[in-house]
Amino acid sequence: MTKHIFVTGGVASSLGKGLTAASLGRLLKQRGLRILIQKLDPYINVDPGTMNPFEHGEVFVTDDGGETDLDLGHYERFIDENLTRDSNATTGSIYSHVLAAERHGDYLGKTVQVIPHITDEIKRRIHLLAGDDVDVLITEVGGTVGDIEILPFLEAIRQFRLDVGPDNVCYIHVTLVPYIAPSGEHKTKPTQHSVIELRGRGIQPDAIVCRSDQPVGEALCRKISNLSSVPLAAVVSAPDADSLYEIPLILHDEGLDDVVCDLLRIDAGEPDLEEWKALNRRVEAATIPVRVGLIGKYVSLVDAYLSVVESLNHAGIHHGVGVQIEWIQAEDVEGLLVADRLRDLDGIVIPGGFGSRGIDGKIAAAGYAREQEIPCLGLCLGLQCMVVDFGRNVLGLERAHSSEFDPTSPHPVIDLMESQRDVDDKGGTMRLGAYVAQLRSDSRVREIYGEDVVSERHRHRYEFNPRYRQRFEAAGLHCSGESPDGRLVEFIELEDHPFWIATQAHPEFKSRPDRPAPLFRAFVEAALRRAEGRNPQLLQVDVGAEG
């Protein structure tokens, strides 16, 4: 039977429940266990696909096209498993399912209530991922204990221990232990109140993860243990770490995975953490600075580009360099070009996004990188902006644009495909999830991937207009990857440029700390070459070395 771990949080949001769940998942996987992780989100949106990135951060896309919470990115990167849309359930999706069942008559005229119908649906979503091929399912409950919208989830996971037996369920509570500088001490009162609130909902935590900016001493852990009825060994100090990838090692040193295995009666050996420790040694050694400008629309909330940032970090670890990200608001680019402030960048990334705001800045950045031979990586909308720049400024196509932003453009070099138009007029559709691309045998992209056929995840609606393909190719902008039927352009690259490559996909969603996404790996390599060329005093490294 699948064992279940439920991770809740208290006192404040953004404490690191997701990273705790992901790190614990990695530790258990290194013990030879088969792990899956899911997120229960209390917001009423059906999924985060239409939510403002300034509020919610990145929308993480799964292979099967699920638009999910960004914590799923942490899960995938840490446990190195491809998750599905079923790993993210929201209040909106749960109520939608229950209401549809009620309209269909599935409840046979009964009064539909939060208990048992909503809680039963929550439990069904959890059971959906449990099976013979999963040893441990870790479920993170979003929000914080005390939030009114979280109550049905707490009730559902409370019932779960009764349903599957006490030896098959473990509750971990992540809470804040703030350090008060004037008094020079940590305070346990917020944790005490959070645990009281959780116990008031019928859940006694089995372990408490104490988040703080500094290690929490044994005396405080003992105090928390006494006041929460949690064994001292299960009160874990989790101070801020220099790197995300230190967290599994910190939690292991604190004994969290041992506590969980004992509680769940899991007979597994010690985790093999040698590769993870080697990864952290490479993180520490990655010190050579490489400056990368990220031309974004949502740079005031860096979580909006979480997977892009982590992919750059993964590539930096691979090459032994410290990627220093310069956050550049797309709307400010044209002013920065006048001041020539982008010249000192070693590389430019133009990520995805929606809406017309900042588009001119992204296009200008693409053109500047092309003219100044600065390595440039375009992702999704980034590809489209690079195509528009090339169309306008190399091919001389006046007012070339995407029909998404200028429906009257005489040269819609980015446009809806004919097969999408009718569907789009009826409400819109996107290419979501994994799509296969055939790479041109003589292309740099083929060399970078080392494969003829690749699969990357997508989240977009507009495409490179095939009517212009021949003109672009003749001018040196090659369509180096396409859909198997040849209709859709998936990759572009500019000949005779250090690195001016883009993809219609989001390769950042498949990057791993020990296996960086190929395009990011190659981009950081090109940026490093530029940095070395501009500053010969930089230590020369063997590009691609594993540390």
In tens, the pLDDT along 302-318 reads 899 999 999 999 999 99
Q: State the Cα angle at 16 between 12 and 20, rounded to 5°.
A: 135
* Per-residue model confidence as pLDDT tens digits over 171-204: 999 999 998 888 778 889 999 999 999 999 999 9
228-239 average pLDDT score: 96
DSSP 21-45: HHHHHHHHHTTT--EEEEEEE-SSS
Predicted confidence band at 515 (pLDDT cuts at 50, 70, 90)? Answer: very high
Residue 132 one-letter amino acid: D
CA distances from 265 to 6, 38, 258, 497, 539 (A): 16, 22, 10, 58, 51
| Dihedral of alpha carbons 448, 452, 456, 461, sign | positive
Residue 201 and residue 151 in contact, taking contact as beta carbons nearer than 8 Å: yes
Check pLDDT > 80 for residue 489: yes
β-pairing, 3-9 vs 477-482, is unpaired
Check pLDDT > 50 for residue 425: no
Same fold: 3-91+130-278 with 286-534: yes
87-96, 353-362, 527-536: which has the highest mean pLDDT?
87-96
Check pLDDT > 90 for residue 11: no
Cα within 13 Å of Cα(520), Cβ side: 31
Is residue 380 flagged as an active site residue? yes
DSSP 455-522: EEEEEES-EE-GGGHHHHHHTTEEEEEE-TTS-SEEEEEETTSS-EEEESS-GGGG-BTTB--HHHHH
The residue that leads in pLDDT, 429 or 74, is 74
Residue showing tokens 């790479």? 439
Share of the chain above pLDDT 90, in %: 83
d(CA 240, CA 237): 10
CA distances from 280 to 16, 198, 283, 365 (A): 19, 35, 5, 34
Share of the chain above pLDDT 70, in %: 96
Is residue 173 flagged as an active site residue? no
| Topology of domain 3-91+130-278, CATH | Rossmann fold (3.40.50)
d(CA 527, CA 346): 5
Q: Which of 10, 27, 481 is nearest to 251 (CA)?
A: 27
514-518 average pLDDT score: 97
Q: Which of 76, 140, 508, 532 is catalytic?
A: 508
Q: How far is CA 31 from the centre of its chain?
A: 25
The DSSP element (H or E) to which 140 belongs, if any, is: strand 136-141
* Per-residue model confidence as pLDDT tens digits over 316-339: 999 999 999 999 999 998 888 877
Contacts with 274 (C-beta within 8 Å, 6 or more apart), sequence order: none
Domain spanning 286-534 has what CATH number?
Answer: 3.40.50.880
Domain segments of the chain: what residues? 3-91+130-278, 286-534
d(CA 150, CA 17): 15
Give the number of other CB atoms < 10 A from CB of residue 1.
11
d(CA 182, CA 380): 49
The whole model's pTM is what?
0.93
Q: Which of 261, 380, 385, 479 is catalytic?
A: 380
**Bond into 516 cis (ω within 30):** no
Q: Which of 479, 497, 506, 532 is catalytic?
A: 506
* Per-residue model confidence as pLDDT tens digits over 400-420: 999 999 999 999 999 997 655
Q: State the Cα angle at 160 between 154 and 161, rounded to 5°.
A: 110
Amino acid 419: pLDDT: 56
* Per-residue model confidence as pLDDT tens digits over 69-95: 999 999 999 999 999 999 999 999 999
457-461 average pLDDT score: 95
DSSP 69-126: -THHHHHHHHH-----GGGEEEHHHHHHHHHHHHHHTTTTTPPP-IIIIIHHHHHHHH
d(CA 200, CA 210): 20
Kindly state the tokens that stand for 382.
Answer: 């980034």
Check pLDDT > 60 for residue 426: no
* Per-residue model confidence as pLDDT tens digits over 129-171: 998 899 999 999 999 998 999 999 999 999 999 999 999 999 9
Amino acid 547: pLDDT: 37
Q: Which of 391, 406, 414, 410 is nearest to 471 (CA)?
A: 391
Q: What is the 3-state secondary structure (H, E, C) of 390-436?
A: HHHHCCCCCCCEECCCCCCCCCEEEECCHHHHHHHHCCCCCEEEEEE
